[in-house]
Structure 1
Amino acid sequence: MQKELSVQQPPHQPFLETAATEGTPKVLVLNSGSSSLKFAVVEPSCGRLLFSGIVDRLGTQESELQIKLPAACKKTIPTPFADHHKSLDTIFPYLKDFGIIGVGHRVVHGGEKFHESVVIDDAAQSAIADCAVIAPLHAPANLTTIQVARKKFPNLPQVAVFDTAFHQTLPPYAYRYAVPQQWYEQYGIRKYGFHGTSHCYVSQEASRLLGIGIEDLQLLTAHLGNGASVCAIRNGKSVDTSMGLTPLEGLIMGTRSGDIDANVLLFLHQQTGLSLAEITDVLNKKSGLLGLSGVGNDMRVLLEEKAKGHCGAALAVEAFCYRLARHLLAAAAGLDRIDALIFTGGIGENSPPIRERALEHLRILGTAIDPKLNGEHGESSAGRITSSDSKVLAMVIHTNEELLIARETVRLIRSF
């Protein structure tokens, strides 16, 4: 029988305040990609989101700044051919009245160099640059934003929070691939895992909601969005996860294939003449839900098409749910028990049919969904979506990576 929950769930999403609270720390959080720069001003002590937005389609004529201002106002400003430097220049006038004490950067890959968040100095910036070789799609954009932000805000301490750091507690038997030792020693070929900030945040929220110390909890977490991964968390530490050296490994995702026989690459090269780079590009950008369905990578659209009888959409949805259940069962090997299974991310938080079907595939664990609670995303039950007689508690917890990054930034600034 599962535990009764006595703690009520907070509002699902951070809200825009009309004015910042005087005297409390505020952090600018930057999340950069190769073609976009997301930003937010967060008050970490209470989780308030004061200001947020994105500069999208960087380097193109269509580039524009989309911002959310106090009182939930929205504003769009054309920024043709903007780069990361120009983007920060455009954002800066909106930041000066918030009293920001530091800048927190989401950094996708920290390799084995970073086991936790760090205050960025020249040495840390150089070490982040060294990780670019194993994350060529993400690291250059992260590094560029760090460089620009340090020049733009020279008097503000800046902190790097790594997607991979949370998974640096994996034991060697979980993170090593069965390949020659030399590959690991010389090239760092191993599982690193991603979505660490999300898995970490929802595990902390689960601890709060369940009233159990994080050091006594054993959890399975499923971050499901266009990118997706699962994680086994034992006593607050990641002990297994589905993504690998890169985010391609693991679950079926929006456009990524997830797990695939490595010999497929050689076979396709021999059969089609495609280069390794071309095949890898297809596996990352034209596979997953998009490749299986032939329709698209948006789960909402796929569920609609499935209901209309589209065979490709039905296959993609079923394969997604089955692969998710299989990886959750595999990750459970790292635990003694399952105190809770957490769904998070855009799909995990908002798609009752996906949660229901995944739990049906986990019936060997004795899962029993409550249709009413699942339909309302656990809003009236502190996140719980399973019935009282389910042998495993399943919950929906809304992730908040910006808040975790802001909290880490304040923690390190205060200890610096």
Structure 2
Amino acid sequence: MEKILEAIQAGASGDEIANLPIPDSYRAAFVKRDEAAMFEGVESWDKDPRKSLHVDEVRTPELAPDEVYIAVMASSINFNTVWTSIFEPLPTFGFLDRMARESEYGARHARDEHIVGSDASGVVLRVGAAVRNWKPGDRVTVQCNYVDDQDPSAHNDSMLASNQKIWGFETNFGALADLSVVKANQLMPKPTHLSWEESAVNGLCSATSYRMLVSDNGARMKQGDSVLIWGATGGIGGYAVQYVLNGGGTPIGVVSSPERAQTLNRMGCEAVIDRKAANYQFWSDEHTQDEKEWRRFGKDIRNVNNGEDVDIVFEHPGRSTMGASVFAAKRGGTIVTCAATSGYMVEFDNRHFWMKLKQLVSSHFANYAESWAANKLLCEGKIQPLLTDTYTLEQAGEASLAVHQNKAEGKLGVLCLAPGEGLGVDDPERREAIGDDKITMFKGN
């Protein structure tokens, strides 16, 4: 891998990179099958990814005809890496074992170590015999929708495919490593004006927000729509704010501190609700929600939204907020949800839902077309990365703990093969034109 890094840094040609040998092993972050029960009896909050995520050499898998080897320059931490590292809601080795039963190449994934990570930027090293559109030397980012084209359910919208998986979570050979194996239909062009770590943090969260709000598979946001965004400075919320602004809508951001409210103001989001200051108590006890609190929340929304309820609610906390979200959406409005970070058994008052003809739309990551469209906006500088801090691969456990304990805003980058921050910018003129202050707006938050 050292020779590969030297070649990339020296600007080697595609042919020169193609002639470099692929190593028999590489450095990666992984969890171990025989440690899947290590946190039994421990409360979720107290489970420590630093104890379960190991960084060491792993053997290089064989390349399938529709796959490529990439040198992973940088990656990032997503909640699915946290879930894998704490073995919740279940150990992910079951995913790998099921994949092993699918095909000869699927059997490669059933190992005693699960290499994690679902975001990457890097360089193509070698392509399989069936790969057409990519070649060694291409600088790429990776989207994590892992799906083949041999099942009819994978066509039209591949997120509905019966065999759809998330790379690095439901498959092996993920991105928190110096090398990875990905399908050719996961690759996208790297934004030329961004560094490796700035390019690596967008794939999963940006495309998730794009599908939720912009796509025909989501809320179908249009110009003039007002959108309530929970966690508006978080990993997906920060992208949602940008998509609403870029699409001619009005974001109403919900955050938990004055500092986060100021971050939204710098992004151009003027309507902000500080939920911590408001001290909403949507649940009066474990089993009962308080409609008076919903109404107080709705009044606060109208106070910052020209006296109107919102057209769309961007919902992902789940149990703690779903009742309020359904109530807050306007008559005929849409609640779009992609997660349940506070609990997945949600409750809401169905009267406010059916009698006011609201819609509840489920969303999960994005298909290749949606990911490509989101990446194009990043390449054009219309959407900015949410990188707040950068860790080394050896610090993957520490970074995962920060995400697990909700101590990180935006996205945390992880340097893999890249030896330092700020490398990989191929078009400094474009970067200057867009503005370094805009690109690095989240850094240090």
TM-score if structure 1 supplies the norm length? 0.32
Q: Which has the higher contact order (CA 8 A, sep 6+)?
A: 2
Structure with bigger helix share is 1
TM-score if structure 2 supplies the norm length? 0.30
